[in-house]
A and B are shown apart, each in its own frame.
Chain A
Amino acid sequence: MKRRFSLDRFLIQRVGISLITLVAALTVLPIIGVFGYIIAKGAPAISWEFLTAMPRDGMRAGGILPAIIGTFYLTLGTAVFSVPLGIAAAIYLSEYAQENRLTRLIRIAIINLAGIPSVVYGLFGLGLFVLFLKFGTSILSASLTLSIMTLPVIISAAEEALRAVPQSFRTVSISLGGTRWQTIRKIVLPQALPGIITGVILGLERAAGETAPILFTGAAFFLPRLPVSPLDATMALPYHLFVISTQVPGMPIQVQYGTALVLIGFVLGMNLIATVIRSRARAKRQW
């Protein structure tokens, strides 16, 4: 009687653990498969020409330089607006705000901004920046839209980095006659900077890969020249991939995979930089 009971329990455990391991494998293996597949099929398309030349033959040949430059401009534009604002908001939450209802409201707002569907951001950007403020379909409109979308990511990461700095540093600074801003400027912010930079890069990485917010606010497909001002529309890698894989007849498969590879290379490259910054900062920390 006793033996059968314990056999049951351990049999269940063995089956269960095998099942869970299978589930995990089924989750992880496709991930490796996805990356491997794109790298394998896209690598043949990558050449110096592909990365630096303008497209020809209705985007079917030549290079994707304008899309790469466009994504770079959009990422830069997003950074210009969202980084200072996001860091300042994080400084407020971490160093100035008291835990009251107003602060909770801000936190709820941040969570909500993070959850709004990306296409709704596109609509908002269209309504406010393109039409109401008359910026038109432009790098400016798209960057502003992407900035608001990236803001919650930067605020969260920056606040966490600021809070990680030991409170004792602040107390010492104040006791030596420092004001709150001096303390932030001379101690807290420099110490939190690696964490903030990591968060910023991860936020910008997401902005670089987004399509829906730029669909009606700044992205274009057939542009004869590179953009010259923030009020120009631009090509962009995610949008380019979308169009060539769904709307262009006769698009060589290799070009499609090559474009996908460049896009994930861009995104993963940023990820790698962020990870390196994070681990080097951790090693050099003086507390």
Chain B
Amino acid sequence: MGKSKNWRETLITAVVRTCGYSAVVFVLLIFFFLLREGVPALAEVKLGDLLSARWYPIESHFGILPLLTGSLIVTVGAMLIAIPFGIGTAVFLSEIAPRWMREILKPLVELLGGLPSVVLGFLGILVLSPFLRVFLNLPTGLTALAGALLLGGIAVPTTVSIAEDALDAVPQSYREGALALGATRWQTIWRVTLPAARSGVLTALMLGIGRTIGETMAVMMVTGNAPVLAIKLTSIFSPVRTMTATIAAEMGEVANGSTHYHVLFLIGLVLFLISLAVNIAASSVVFKSRKRAERVLS
């Protein structure tokens, strides 16, 4: 009986271990496939053309610069909203609001995070962009601004959730110490509590950025789909096209194996690498702060 139990145990251990490694396998698989279908684009399209400012695939113009700037302007705009609103709300929930309010509002904010982005894009088309068009007297409401506002709204719940957890984790003794030294609650928040939660808040922001960069549907529905270079300050009031929207909009109409197909995969590869970089940066922040904490406590 002992022998057969041993055999079963070994088998189960092997199966479980294989499943454990699966995440690594999948990341490599995704990377490999993006490479496989995206790299041919580098052979088929001259690098100069790829980096040009004209994205017009029908006439074989594959300049991805407008798409990059489109993604950039929308992401930056979204972060300009998400950072103050995200951290501000997190500070409010953690440091200022009474307990009962926090118990109601925190789940409410998380509820927004669970909303499918296509629903937000839908509201963006029907409500937000007509409003912007009228309010700001623009030719169309489908602009980078609409995208930034929606993306900000999508990034805020993630940011609030994680930042609020980080602030909540700061030991009460820090706050009490500052107050005992004569600081006001306000000063305590900004000079003691927030800096103490710095790594958690940074992580929250990075994850918010990650969500923003990767968002597809909402931006596709409200940013207007005009692949033009967005480098002027006023570009935020014009239509743009992001990398993600480009892939989503054009992939369905593309011939399998064509240059256009390969270039779209190449854009996907770029997105993959950007999110990889953001995630590694975020996890090294956490790792560094943990090492620092270990040194301090030992």
Contact = CB atoms under 8 A, between A and B. Distances in A.
The reply, when asked whether chain A contacts chain B directly with Cβ atoms under 8 A, is yes
A91 B18 CA distance: 11
Interface of B: 5, 8-9, 12-13, 15-17, 19-24, 26-27, 29-30, 33-34, 36-37, 84-86, 88-89, 91-93, 96-97, 105, 107-109, 111-112, 114-123, 125-127, 153, 156, 160, 184-187, 207, 210, 213-217, 221, 244, 247-248, 251-252, 256, 264-265, 268, 271-272, 275-276, 278-280, 282-283
Contact of B89 (A24, A96, A179, A210): A24
A57 B111 CA distance: 35
Contacts of B123: 34, 37-38, 260
Contacts of B214: 115-120
A113 B26 contact: yes
A105 to B, nearest CB: 6
A131 B282 CA distance: 34
Contact of B20 (A106, A111, A216): A106
A267 B125 CA distance: 21
B36 A127 contact: yes
A286 interface: no
A110 B25 CA distance: 10
B117 to A, nearest CB: 8
B24 A109 contact: yes
A89 B37 CA distance: 29
19 contacts: A21-B92, A24-B92, A31-B111, A31-B112, A38-B123, A89-B20, A96-B20, A108-B283, A112-B276, A113-B23, A120-B34, A123-B37, A148-B26, A151-B26, A202-B114, A212-B216, A212-B244, A260-B123, A268-B111
Is the interface on chain A under 10, 10 to 19, 20 to 34, or 35 or more residues?
Answer: 35 or more
Contacts of A148: 26, 30
A66 interface: no
B184 A105 contact: no
Interface string A4-46: 0000011011001101110110111011101101100000000
Contacts of B16: 88, 91-92, 95-96
A260 B265 CA distance: 31
Nearest to A10: B184
A181 B16 CA distance: 10
A216 B207 CA distance: 26
A110 B23 contact: yes
Contacts of A242: 118, 121-122, 217, 221
B92 A111 contact: no
Contact of B108 (A31, A108, A275): A31
Nearest to A238: B118
A109 B126 CA distance: 39
A119 B247 contact: yes
Among all A-B residue pairs, the 6 with the closest Cβ atoms: A209-B116, A92-B20, A117-B214, A23-B88, A88-B19, A13-B186
Contacts of A20: 88, 91-92, 96
Contacts of A13: 184-187
Contacts of A31: 108-109, 111-112
Nearest to A128: B33
Contacts of B252: 215-216
B23 A17 contact: no
B119 A116 contact: no
A120 B278 contact: no
Nearest to B275: A115
Contacts of B120: 34
Given A17-B186, A34-B123, A260-B119, A271 B111 contact: yes
B116 A116 contact: no
A173 interface: no
Secondary structure at the A interface, as helix, strand, loop or mixed, is helix
A66 B111 CA distance: 26
A123 B251 contact: yes
Interface in A119-136: 119-124, 126-128, 131-132
Contacts of A118: 214-216
A212 B111 contact: no
A111 B285 CA distance: 14
A21 B111 contact: no
Nearest to A208: B116
B268 A152 contact: no
Contacts of B126: 245, 253, 256
A27 B97 contact: no
B23 A179 contact: no
The interface centre, meaning the residue of B33, B213, B215 with most chain A CB atoms within 10 A of its CB, is: B33
The interface centre, meaning the residue of B29, B34, B160, B248 with most chain A CB atoms within 10 A of its CB, is: B248
Nearest to A246: B221
Contacts of A124: 29-30, 33-34, 268
A32 to B, nearest CB: 7
Contacts of B19: 85, 88-89, 91-92
Given A27-B109, A122-B251, A263-B116, A117 B221 contact: no
Given A117-B244, A238-B116, A179 B9 contact: yes
Interface string A214-249: 011000000000000000000000110110011000
The interface centre, meaning the residue of A30, A37, A109, A271 with most chain B CB atoms within 10 A of its CB, is: A109
A206 interface: yes
